[in-house]
Structure 1
Amino acid sequence: MTLLPPVRAVLFDKDGTLFDFNATWMPLYLDTANEVAGGDKALALKLLVESGYDAATKRLDPHSSLAAGTNAEIAEIWARVAGGDWTVARLTRRFDANFAKSMEMRPTPVTDLAALFGRLKAKGLKIGVATMDSHAAARAAIETFELVGLVDFSCGYDSGHGHKPGPGMVHAFCRAIEIPAGDIAVVGDTPHDMHMARAAGAGLAIGVLTGVSPREVLADHADRVLDSIAELDALLA
């Protein structure tokens, strides 16, 4: 196994990386689809399927909008499928409101986040969170799980740094902490996260299996694939 490059900072994805994706997001997606469909179960299922849900396996396509897209991207699909009064703008507002409830529902962290982040900070590492959810949702997660003071940077799809898999979120993190991309590890659960790392010139792309992507999918794009971020301590020792 090749030696790892030096790492001075870690940029984490949020859902599927810090939090178990299926336990946190699938109930919200199902509830929102039923709401938009007005109780029409066939339409609700079609909304989910068209945006990346596999009804047979009950999992998401890791390349799909539900797995890795913005709320606006999901809204574009659902507006086309649902029709009627459900415009893209109205659906985006509904998603922002409904998905913000993920913090109220106490999403399932994949490990003790404060303890892990504390250990990483003790190693001298800077920490960031970059999500395709909103910036407000990222800040809510940081506050809810007592990570304020441990996280040096956070951004969402609406922060003005572009979207994954583009490099903008990584570059914004680099500017904020004044560390070059080659010294940064990007950690995420989707190919989009890995592609973002590559596009930005990040030193290390680390995939985790707590989200929507199986090992064989991430292995094609990541330098390392971990069962979860709980293994990051040992990797970066």
Structure 2
Amino acid sequence: MTLRADAILFDKDGTLFDFRATWDVWAGGVLERLAKGDAERLEWLTAAIGYDPVIGGFLPESPVIAGTNRQVAALMLPGLDGWSLRGLERFLSEAAETAPLVETVPLSPLLARLRQAGLSLGVMTNDSQRTAHAHLVAANIGDAFDFVAGADSGFGAKPSPDPLLSFAYAVEKAPERVVMVGDSAHDLMAGRAAGMQTVAVLTGPATRAELSPLADVVLPNVGALPDWLGLAHANAS
């Protein structure tokens, strides 16, 4: 049986790694470091990026969820003294490398199964490329991907389709035979604009109702991909 696709491009945060388990606690610590004990400054910073210190997590409408490090740094910069935009962006990128990664499902066996089926795999994140590589290596899945790009890789950032099309070009697959898998509207908008198949997963802050209009299918997590792709039927034939 023919599979639905020849390649899969994954978002990182909220797709491969659980967004709230990975980033909510980490962000609280980073905000406290930047505030340096100043309660008023901490309150300003949390409001600027849509972080609720009471629940210890990002609000659903937070621009951080799908934003780039530069966009986040630009939001925080007016509330900080002695920082440049570039310096704050670098700080956020380096600090993100130490985030406590929580996989949405056991990734190594899943990715191995997809590769064994002949699928090309990639990651496109609005995080930095350096942080993306660091996270994939830390999770022992760095070798599973043919393509890894961040918002600073030179291909652009989601929701632009350009980085997605760069993946299709790199692995020599037609866009319509590529699946974009993500947990945010930005991921799916980029996939649609690139002419790719779009799969939403519910391991990020966005809801099914928010993602359904932009997705060909909504899955609970990336672990459901093999069945949706038709791998079980292909193995049986």
TM-score with structure 1 length normalisation?
A: 0.90
Equivalent in the alignment of 2:16 = 18
Q: Which runs of 5+ in 2 are unaligned?
A: 231-237
The DSSP-based 3-state class of the residue aligned with 1:72 is: helix
State the 1:64 CA deviation: 3.5
Distance, in Å, in 2 between the alignment partners of 1:41 and 1:220 is: 41
2:213 equivalent among 195, 214, 220: 220
* 2:160 paired with 1:170: no
Distance, in Å, in 1 between the alignment partners of 2:80 and 2:27 is: 18
Distance, in Å, in 1 between the alignment partners of 2:70 and 2:46 is: 15
2:121 equivalent among 124, 127, 130: 127
Partner amino acid for 1:86?
W
The DSSP-based 3-state class of the residue aligned with 1:210 is: coil
- Mark the CA change 1:13 to 1:142 in structure 2 (over 3 Å): closer, same or farther: same
Of residues 57-66 and 207-216 in structure 1, the stretch that sits farther from structure 2 once superposed is: 57-66
Equivalent in the alignment of 2:148 = 154
* 2:65 paired with 1:67: yes
Distance, in Å, in 2 between the alignment partners of 1:143 and 1:59 is: 26
1:189 equivalent among 169, 183, 186: 183
Equivalent in the alignment of 2:227 = 234
Distance, in Å, in 2 between the alignment partners of 1:221 and 1:58 is: 29
The DSSP-based 3-state class of the residue aligned with 2:179 is: strand
Partner amino acid for 1:171?
L
Q: How many residues align?
A: 229
Contact 1:209–1:228 (CA<8 Å) still a contact in 2?
yes
Contact 2:28–2:53 (CA<8 Å) still a contact in 1?
no
Distance, in Å, in 2 between the alignment partners of 1:171 and 1:236 is: 21
The DSSP-based 3-state class of the residue aligned with 2:65 is: helix
> Deviation string for 1:13-40 (max 9, x for gaps)?
0011001111111122111111111222
- Mark the CA change 1:193 to 1:62 in structure 2 (over 3 Å): closer, same or farther: farther
> Deviation string for 1:188-228 (max 9, x for gaps)?
111000111011111x1111111111111111221111111
Distance, in Å, in 1 between the alignment partners of 2:143 and 2:62 is: 33
- Mark the CA change 1:37 to 1:148 in structure 2 (over 3 Å): closer, same or farther: closer
2:85 equivalent among 61, 85, 88: 88
Correspondences of 1:102-117 after superposition (within 5 Å): 102=99, 105=100, 107-117=101-111
Partner amino acid for 2:111?
F
